[in-house]
Structure formats: structure tokens, C-alpha cells
Amino acid sequence: MADGGAQQGGAGKQAYEARRAAKAGVSLDKWLTRKDDRKTVVAATVRPNPLVMQIKAGWRRLMDRAHRPL
């Protein structure tokens, strides 16, 4: 899974990730693996509740209608 980060962005992105890996004191492959792992953990934990999203959307529509002129 470490092939996604630096290779997609080109040489500049790969150099940037290599500098960040060197600053952290790990190899580039290990850095990209950790980065992908963090990304999957965040994606799994930050999933909003669909019911809450529907309520917010309904409230937003109601407020939009309330602010329209008669």
C-alpha cells in the first residue's frame, strides 16, 4: 500500500516525501506505509452519521426558506 503516496505526484512529491521521511528518521517506504495507515484510520473514524447529516440538510433548507423574501 506504500506505492500510492509519492509515486502519484511525480518527482517533486517524491522528493518532498523523502525529506519528510528523513526528518522523521525512517525510510521512504516505511514513511509511506505509516502515512497510508494513518489515512485509513482517520477515514474509518471520521465517518459522520447519515441521520445527523439528513437533519443538518433539512435544517439548512428550512433556514434558507425562512430567509427568502415573501
Residue 7: pLDDT band (50, 70, 90) is low
Q: What is the pLDDT of residue 69?
A: 86
Task: Tell me the domain boundaries of the chain.
Answer: 5-66
**DSSP conformation class of 44:** H
Asked if the model's pLDDT at residue 20 lies above 90, the reply is yes
Is the model more confident about 70 or about 1?
A: 70
Q: Would you tell me how many other CB atoms lie within 10 Å of the CB of residue 24? A: 11
Q: pTM for this one? A: 0.50
Is the model more confident about 29 or about 1?
A: 29
